[in-house]
C-alpha cells in the first residue's frame, strides 16, 4: 500500500505537492493550465500581499463562485496561519451581515460579481487582477509564517437545516488528519481528474479538493450546471457530488431510454450483466456504452455524500458501469467519518469507519438503533462562542452527531434518521421521516418530498409535502394529479404499521427550500397546494 503523509498543516501539504508533482497540472482552467509549481508560487504571492496589507493572522472572510482565485485566497489564508471564514454566496443579505458580524472578520474577499449588502468591513476582489498585483510584490527573505496546527484556522457556518447556523471551529490538523484518512480509505491516483461541482465554502467540497491536491490530481471547475459536458471536456475520472445530482443524471438517462423504447432491453441486459459479473465477466462497456457516453465515458468513480443516496439509483450506476460509493460526515468532523470503498460495499449503508476514527452507537434501543457518536483527530475544536452547545455535543472525547443509526456485525454503518427530525408520537412510538420519504421516492413522478409531524387537536398526524413532475401527467388536471398521488400514498400506507401511516398530503409543483448543499430546510413547513 502506498505510504501517505499526515501533514501537520495545509502549508506543509501544498509545499510537498509542489515538490512531488512539480510541473504536473493542478488546475485546468479555461484560459490556462496551472501546475503544482505555479500553484505554490501563486499562493506565496497572495501570502505576500496579505502581509503587505496587514492581513496575516487576521480573520479572512471569503464569498463567491467556485474559481481558482477563491482557492488561492483559501490556501494563502492557511499558508499565513490566518483564519478563514468561508461564506455561502446564496445567503440572504441579512445572513451575510450576521455571519460577518458573528465571525468578527477583518476583511471580505469576493470571487466573481456579487451584489453585497452594506457592511462595515474592508472588501477585496479575489480576482486575476489581485493575483497580478500580488505577483508584482518583491519576494521576502523569509516567507515562512507562524502556524499553530491545533488552533482555529477555519470558522465555518453550518447550513442550518433545522436550527440557526452554528459556527464550527476547525484547526488545520483537523483537516489534514481527515485528508490522511481519506487517502488510505479510497483508491485515487495522481492520474485522476476531478470535476469540481460542490460549493467550496462547504467542507465536503473543500476537503475533497484539498485531498485531490495532496495526491497530485488534475482539478477542473464545472461549467455552471453543464455536468456531463464538463466531464467530457476535461475527461474527468472522479465526480464528487450530492444525491440530487445523481438523481438528476439517473432521471434524465432513464427518461431517454424510455423515450427510445429501450426500457425492457436495458433491464434484460442489466440482469444478464449481474450474472456475468458473478462469473467475473464484465461486459458493461459493451452493453451500456451508449448510456455511459452520454453521462461521461471517462468517469470511473462517483462519490456521493451530504444526504442519503437512493439505493436503487446507486445500484443503477453500478449496473451500467460506474463505481459509486456513498459516505457520511458532518462539518464538525472535517467532514468525513465513514464511506464505502472497493473492499467494503453494502448497498444502502454509508460504508465503514475510516482509519483513525472510532464510531459507536450511543444508548441503542432493542433494535440496535441509537445516536451515532465519533472520536478522532478530525473532530472540531467546538462551536465558536457557544460553550454550552459545545458541551452538549462533545462528551468524553466523542462528538454526538445527532444522527440515528446502527452498525451491523460486519462494521457497516446504517443511517436511519436525524434525531431532531424524528417524530415522537404521544403513544411513545418514534417515526423517522427519512424512512417514509424513501418509500415515496420510489415513484418516478415524485420530484421531491418531505415528511413531518403535526398535531390535529389531541391526535398526532404524519404529513407529507410532495412535489410532482407535472410532465409525467400530460393532459391531467391538478385535481386528477392529486387523486393519483392520494392513491399512491394509500398504497404506501397499506404496507405500513398504523402509527407510521401518512394522514395528510400536500401536493405541489413548487420545490422545497434547500440549502446551498441541497439539503431540505425542514424547519420551514410548506403549504403550497396545486
CA dihedral 186, 190, 193, 199 (to 10 degrees): 60
Residue 11 has pLDDT above 80, yes or no: yes
Widest CA span in the chain: 75
State residue 224's pLDDT score. 86
Burial of 527 (0-12, 13-18, 19+ CB in 10 A): exposed
Mean pLDDT across 329-348? 95
- In this structure, of 23-27, 164-168, 453-457, the range with the lowest mean pLDDT score is 453-457
Question: 289-292: which pairs have CB atoms within 8 A and are 24 or more residues apart?
Answer: 291/253, 291/257, 291/266, 291/320, 292/320, 292/321, 292/322
Mean pLDDT across 266-278? 96
Residue 1 has pLDDT above 50, yes or no: no
**Are residues 348 and 435 located together in one domain of the fold?**
no
Residue 195 lies in a domain: no
Residue 232 lies in a domain: no
The whole-angstrom separation of Cα 359 and Cα 399 is: 9
State residue 161's pLDDT score. 47
- Most confident of the ranges 8-17, 428-437, 470-479: 8-17
**Are residues 178 and 104 located together in one domain of the fold?**
yes
**Are residues 370 and 254 located together in one domain of the fold?**
yes
Which grid cell sits at 94?
441579512
Residue 60 lies in a domain: yes
Mean pLDDT across 449-473? 87
Spatial contact of 199 and 31, defined as CB atoms under 8 Å apart? no
* Residue 187 CA neighbour count, 13 Å, CB half: 11
Mean pLDDT across 311-338? 94
Q: How confident is the model at residue 417 (pLDDT cuts 50, 70, 90)?
A: confident
Residue 396 has pLDDT above 80, yes or no: yes
Q: What percent of the chain has pLDDT over 70?
A: 96
State residue 119's pLDDT score. 94
Which grid cell sits at 164?
440557526
State residue 247's pLDDT score. 86
Mapped onto helix, strand or coil, the DSSP state of residue 241 is: strand
43-98 per-position pLDDT tens digit: 999 999 999 999 999 999 999 999 999 999 999 999 999 999 999 998 889 989 99
Q: How confident is the model at residue 526 (pLDDT cuts 50, 70, 90)?
A: low
CATH code of the domain in which 79 resides: 3.40.50.12780
Residue 234 lies in a domain: no
**Are residues 106 and 154 located together in one domain of the fold?**
yes
Residue 402 has pLDDT above 60, yes or no: yes
Ordered DSSP codes for 65-119: -SSHHHHHHHHHHHHTT-EEEE--TTS-HHHHHHHHHHHT-SEEEEES-------
Residue 279 lies in a domain: yes
Mean pLDDT across 354-381? 96
State residue 162's pLDDT score. 43
Residue 223 lies in a domain: no
**Are residues 57 and 204 located together in one domain of the fold?**
yes
**Are residues 207 and 254 located together in one domain of the fold?**
no
Residue 460 lies in a domain: yes
Residue 517 has pLDDT above 60, yes or no: yes
193-222 per-position pLDDT tens digit: 999 999 999 999 999 999 999 999 999 999
Mean pLDDT across 425-451? 86
**Are residues 322 and 441 located together in one domain of the fold?**
no
**Are residues 119 and 32 located together in one domain of the fold?**
yes
**Are residues 104 and 166 located together in one domain of the fold?**
yes
- Identify the DSSP state of 392: H
Write down the residue that cell numbers 492520474 correspond to: 191
Mapped onto helix, strand or coil, the DSSP state of residue 16 is: helix
State residue 92's pLDDT score. 87
Residue 519 lies in a domain: no
State residue 164's pLDDT score. 65
Mean pLDDT across 105-120? 95
The whole-angstrom separation of Cα 441 and Cα 457 is: 30
Mean pLDDT across 390-398? 96
As for how many domains the chain has, the answer is 3
**Are residues 206 and 346 located together in one domain of the fold?**
no
Q: Which residues constitute the domain of residue 21?
A: 10-188+200-217
**Are residues 397 and 342 located together in one domain of the fold?**
yes
Mean pLDDT across 129-141? 93
Mean pLDDT across 313-337? 95
Average pLDDT, the chain: 92
Mean pLDDT across 333-342? 96
The whole-angstrom separation of Cα 99 and Cα 101 is: 5
**Are residues 155 and 273 located together in one domain of the fold?**
no
Q: How confident is the model at residue 516 (pLDDT cuts 50, 70, 90)?
A: low
Residue 165 has pLDDT above 90, yes or no: no
User: Please, what is the Cα angle at 264 between 262 and 266, to 5 degrees?
Assistant: 65
CA dihedral 36, 39, 43, 49 (to 10 degrees): 150
Mean pLDDT across 16-43? 97
Amino acid at each position: 500500500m502506498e505510504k501517505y503523509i499526515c501533514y501537520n498543516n495545509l502549508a506543509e501539504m501544498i509545499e510537498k505537492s509542489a515538490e512531488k508533482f512539480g510541473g504536473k497540472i493542478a488546475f485546468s482552467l479555461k484560459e490556462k493550465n496551472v501546475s503544482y509549481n505555479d500553484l505554490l508560487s501563486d499562493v506565496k504571492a497572495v501570502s505576500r500581499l496579505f502581509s503587505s496589507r496587514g492581513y496575516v493572522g487576521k480573520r479572512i472572510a471569503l464569498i463567491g463562485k467556485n474559481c481558482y482565485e477563491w482557492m488561492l485566497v483559501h490556501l494563502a489564508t492557511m499558508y499565513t496561519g490566518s483564519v478563514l471564514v468561508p461564506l455561502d454566496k446564496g445567503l440572504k443579505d441579512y445572513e451575510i451581515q450576521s455571519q460577518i458580524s458573528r465571525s468578527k472578520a477583518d476583511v471580505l474577499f469576493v470571487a466573481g460579481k456579487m451584489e453585497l449588502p452594506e457592511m462595515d468591513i474592508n472588501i477585496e476582489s479575489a480576482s486575476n487582477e489581485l493575483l497580478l498585483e500580488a505577483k508584482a510584490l518583491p519576494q521576502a527573505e523569509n516567507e515562512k509564517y507562524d502556524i499553530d496546527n491545533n488552533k482555529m484556522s477555519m470558522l465555518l457556518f453550518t447550513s442550518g437545516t433545522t436550527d440557526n447556523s452554528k459556527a464550527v471551529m476547525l484547526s488545520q490538523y483537523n483537516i489534514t488528519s481527515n485528508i490522511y484518512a481519506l487517502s488510505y480509505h479510497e483508491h485515487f491516483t495522481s492520474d485522476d481528474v476531478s470535476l469540481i461541482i460542490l460549493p467550496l465554502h462547504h467542507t465536503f467540497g473543500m476537503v475533497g479538493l484539498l485531498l485531490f491536491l495532496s495526491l497530485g490530481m488534475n482539478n477542473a471547475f464545472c461549467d455552471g450546471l453543464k455536468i456531463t459536458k464538463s466531464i467530457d471536456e476535461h475527461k474527468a475520472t472522479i465526480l464528487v457530488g450530492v444525491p440530487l445530482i445523481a438523481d438528476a443524471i439517473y432521471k434524465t438517462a432513464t427518461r431517454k431510454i424510455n423515450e427510445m423504447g429501450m426500457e425492457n432491453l436495458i433491464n434484460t441486459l442489466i440482469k444478464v450483466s449481474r450474472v456475468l459479473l458473478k462469473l467475473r465477466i464484465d461486459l458493461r462497456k459493451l452493453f451500456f456504452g451508449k448510456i455511459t457516453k452520454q453521462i461521461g465515458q471517462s468517469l470511473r468513480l462517483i462519490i456521493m455524500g451530504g444526504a442519503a443516496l437512493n439505493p436503487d439509483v446507486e445500484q443503477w450506476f453500478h449496473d451500467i458501469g460506474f463505481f459509486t460509493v456513498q459516505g457520511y460526515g458532518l462539518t464538525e468532523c472535517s467532514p468525513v467519518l465513514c464511506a464505502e470503498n472497493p473492499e467494503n460495499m453494502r448497498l444502502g449503508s454509508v460504508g465503514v469507519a475510516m482509519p483513525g476514527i472510532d464510531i459507536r452507537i450511543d444508548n441503542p434501543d432493542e433494535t440496535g438503533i441509537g445516536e451515532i457518536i465519533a472520536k478522532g483527530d478530525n473532530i472540531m475544536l467546538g462551536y465558536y462562542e457557544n460553550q454550552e452547545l459545545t458541551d452538549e455535543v462533545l462528551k468524553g472525547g466523542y462528538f454526538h452527531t445527532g444522527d440515528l443509526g446502527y452498525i451491523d456485525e460486519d462494521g457497516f454503518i446504517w443511517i436511519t434518521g436525524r434525531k431532531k427530525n424524528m417524530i415522537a408520537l404521544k403513544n411513545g412510538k418514534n417515526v423517522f421521516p427519512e424512512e417514509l420519504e424513501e418509500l415515496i421516492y420510489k415513484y418516478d413522478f415524485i420530484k421531491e418530498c418531505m415528511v413531518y409531524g403535526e398535531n390535529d387537536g389531541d391526535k398526532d398526524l404524519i404529513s407529507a409535502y410532495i412535489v410532482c413532475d407535472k410532465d409525467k401527467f400530460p393532459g391531467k388536471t391538478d385535481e386528477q394529479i392529486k387523486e393519483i398521488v392520494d392513491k399512491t400514498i394509500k398504497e404506501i400506507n397499506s404496507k405500513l404499521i398504523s402509527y407510521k401511516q401518512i394522514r395528510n398530503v400536500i401536493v405541489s409543483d413548487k420545490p422545497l427550500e434547500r440549502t446551498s448543499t441541497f439539503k431540505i430546510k425542514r424547519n420551514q413547513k410548506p403549504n403550497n397546494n396545486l
